[in-house]
Amino acid sequence: MTVEPSRMLRADAEQNRARILEVARETFAELGLDVSMAEIARRTGVGTATLYRRFPTKEALVTDVFADRISACVATIDDAVADPDPWRGFCGFLEKICALQASDKGFTEAFVAAFPGALDYADKRERVEPEFTELTARAKAAGKLRADFAFGDLAMLFMANCGIIAANTAHAEAASRRFVAYMIQSFRAENAEPLPPATPFELPNFWDSSSPG
Amino acid sequence: MTVEPSRMLRADAEQNRARILEVARETFAELGLDVSMAEIARRTGVGTATLYRRFPTKEALVTDVFADRISACVATIDDAVADPDPWRGFCGFLEKICALQASDKGFTEAFVAAFPGALDYADKRERVEPEFTELTARAKAAGKLRADFAFGDLAMLFMANCGIIAANTAHAEAASRRFVAYMIQSFRAENAEPLPPATPFELPNFWDSSSPG
């Protein structure tokens, strides 16, 4: 059996790309987002020209590295919506995305880093939002989730958990687990007290005004 | 009336020091912690030799800039302990320190920056801990604060709030206010549910392994 050369080239390119993403993720985790493209090329064992052919800018590379991780977060919403108990699905979703954040400090540190700028998560949000909205509507209808829980509270929880993980203390993962348990209690409909107004769903913006090297 | 020259010199040195701290705080707020000592000297209008005479290392400068801010947080504990209603004092303290964090993004960003290293807050902790312990003991005795609230939960809240503020979204301050209200509800003794184990009180460590220029 023979494989046509163009298909082999495509397979090589695919492996190359996957390897760059893997090395870039490890490197960002170790050194933070301001590592140079040259360093990532060196660690991957490819020339910088090859790296720039796959990822024309560092923003493009970072976006792809993160997109992968964010997709893993997104996948957990499917499990949550499939749960016949909407409150259990809701709580499980929050626990899982927060544990996923906690397990990858590189991603989390990058996420909260003091970098100016913007990565494009709009497509992910368009997928998550209707599913999460359905999940919360069912949990509210079941009388378990407080009626004033807002979509923006999910971003609030996500950012708060980032802060705990980014602190990078010896017990950050345990603190994150306890934190999520506290938040879930505050989201319960029972004995809910009035809150300050909800805020829109917002994730941090990277590279707003400048672009790292 | 005459002033002795040595007293004038001391007054000059004090003004100089205050001015350096003010400029350094603004510069850290604007550019982050990795700004050079030379840049801070330039903005203050003093020679680098003078800057280094006052602050032998950048760690020393950053510690003093932060100590000032942390002292403002510490002062709020006195008001809280003085409140005849321990639950109101407890909630007010949490609201005030979180609002203080939210009002100074430079401090908060520096606090959660991906810098390796350690600033010495031990003396501040030694002052806050007994007062906060007294406040929580009284709020628990009054049946308002859940019995399993731990001192480490204060650091957890502080780091989580940092994460919300550091995200630097358009509604970060409003998100912080809503977040603190959620957390206070989860700290109420009423209907408290079991939690994962508490973690020790830990603040992030800066400069663990390297020292910026």
A192 at interface of B, judged by CB pairs closer than 8 A: yes
B28 at interface of A, judged by CB pairs closer than 8 A: no
Chain A CB contacts of B159 under 8 Å are: 163-164, 166-167, 169, 175
Spell out a b/e string for A49-62, using b for 16 or more CB atoms within 10 Å of the CB, else e: eebeebbeebbebb
Contacts (Cβ under 8 Å, ≥6 apart) of B3: none
* pLDDT tens digit at each of 213 positions of chain A: 556 667 777 888 888 899 999 999 888 877 767 789 999 999 999 999 999 999 998 878 887 887 767 777 778 888 999 999 999 999 999 999 898 878 766 565 555 442 333 355 556 666 778 899 999 999 999 999 999 999 889 889 988 998 888 776 788 889 999 999 999 999 999 988 999 999 887 766 443 333 333
Using CA atoms, how far residue A157 sits from A94, A183, B151, in Å, is 9, 8, 21
- Please name the member of B164, B169, B203 whose beta carbon is closest to the beta carbon of A160: B164
- The string of pLDDT tens digits covering residues B150-177 is 988 988 998 899 888 877 678 888 999 9
Using CA atoms, how far residue B64 sits from A11, A127, B48, B126, B136, in Å, is 56, 47, 17, 17, 29
Q: What is the interface pTM, i.e. ipTM, of the complex?
A: 0.73
Predicted pLDDT at A168: 67
Interfacial B residues in 145-184 facing A (CB < 8 Å): 152-153, 155-156, 159-164, 166-171, 174-175, 177-179, 181-183
User: Cβ separation of A186 and B190 shorter than 8 Å?
Assistant: no
- The string of pLDDT tens digits covering residues B175-212 is 999 999 999 999 999 988 999 999 887 766 443 333 33
Spell out a b/e string for A137-164, using b for 16 or more CB atoms within 10 Å of the CB, else e: ebbbeeebbbeebbbbbbbbbbbbbbbb
Measured in angstroms, the CA of A107 and the nearest CA of chain B are apart by 12
